[in-house]
Amino acid sequence: MSEPIRVLVTGAAGQIAYSLLYSIGNGSVFGKDQPIILVLLDITPMMGVLDGVLMELQDCALPLLKDVIATDKEDVAFKDLDVAILVGSMPRRDGMERKDLLKANVKIFKSQGAALEKYAKKSVKVIVVGNPANTNCLTACKSAPSIPKENFSCLTRLDHNRAKAQIALKLGVTSDDVKNVIIWGNHSSTQYPDVSHAKVKLQGKEVGVYDALKDDSWLKGEFITTVQQRGAAVIKARKLSSAMSAAKAICDHVRDIWFGTPEGEFVSMGIISDGNPYGVPDDLLYSFPVTIKNKTWKVVEGLTINDFSREKMDLTAKELAEEKETAFEFLSSA
């Protein structure tokens, strides 16, 4: 058995965490021989609920869980972390402007970034899930200057998985048969789900998705809007936001950081855009196709970008630049 790793989940009393914690505890993220000290952080009014989650984790009797710590204090939560999964954020309330949402979250992620800087290991891997995820991630990153920028990523894997699933459904295959879809940009309705480099396995042969489907108008229209608006569709149907699928995407994202991506496959995650080969401005937290090896991501190079893609990639970059500008006005005063 190896030494235990310390893994923090914030927003730990919430519904995404409720779907996530069991998977972390049972070894399906960090491996079946990796003991874990699981740290659960939430706000003070949620501590009663969090106690219930703690009881349930104890009752799962998971052999890999060496300890579970429930707290509302950042100095306890962020101490000596190996992995921080930042799920908790201020949700958008009815009648709330996106600007107000950004302001509330800048405060949270500035504080958590500072806590990472002060208490966590410098090698910590930070995954931001709470929305607006890209800009929250950038805020945390800026607030922890001594932790490498490359250690910060935000979740666009849910969008990636949604895109894979839509293609698989359309072709009557399983989503395992679809690979190398890309989510470019912001985890918002401007994201660009791109399948121009995606492959699908049909009758044992790998074919390009465009060739396999022969339905360009669907791929450039309804497919894109379905993926972009899937979160809203789930809320409309369930009256609650995506939790099971979000938790599954977090597991996929973190497992790939930990163990790497399969040969010949790439995945999507929001990362710092500095020096990227696709003309996206530096200093944005933007979703790219990446491969991962030795816990280090690398942007996939040499993908051809047609005019259709270029326009959509620029549009989501523009939104991210605007969000960043708004957030950073608040950052100096937060």
98 is in an annotated binding site: yes
Strands 5-10 and 83-86: parallel
Provide Rg for the chain, Cα atoms: 19
204 is in an annotated binding site: no
Q: Does the active-site annotation cover 187? A: yes
105 is in an annotated binding site: yes
3-state secondary structure 113-177: HHHHHHHCCCCCEEEECCCCHHHHHHHHHHCCCCCCHHHEEECCHHHHHHHHHHHHHHHCCCHHH
131 is in an annotated binding site: yes
Q: Which two tokens stand for residue 190?
A: 């401007």
130 is in an annotated binding site: yes
52 is in an annotated binding site: no
Answer whether 91's CB lies under 8 Å from 51's CB: no
| Residue of 160, 187, 197, 253 marked catalytic | 187
**What is the distance, to the nearest Å, from the Cα of residue 235 to the centroid of all Cα atoms in its chain?**
19
What gap in Å lies between CA 5 and CA 37, rounded to an integer? Answer: 6
162 is in an annotated binding site: yes
Q: Which two tokens stand for residue 100?
A: 């107000």
* Amino acid, single-letter form, for residue 274: D
Cis peptide preceding 132, ω within 30 of 0: yes
180 is in an annotated binding site: no
Residue ranges for the known binding site for NAD(+) are 42, 105, 129-131
Could you list the active site residues? 187
Residues placed in the known binding site for substrate: 92, 98, 131, 162
Residues of each annotated binding site: 42, 92, 98, 105, 129-131, 162
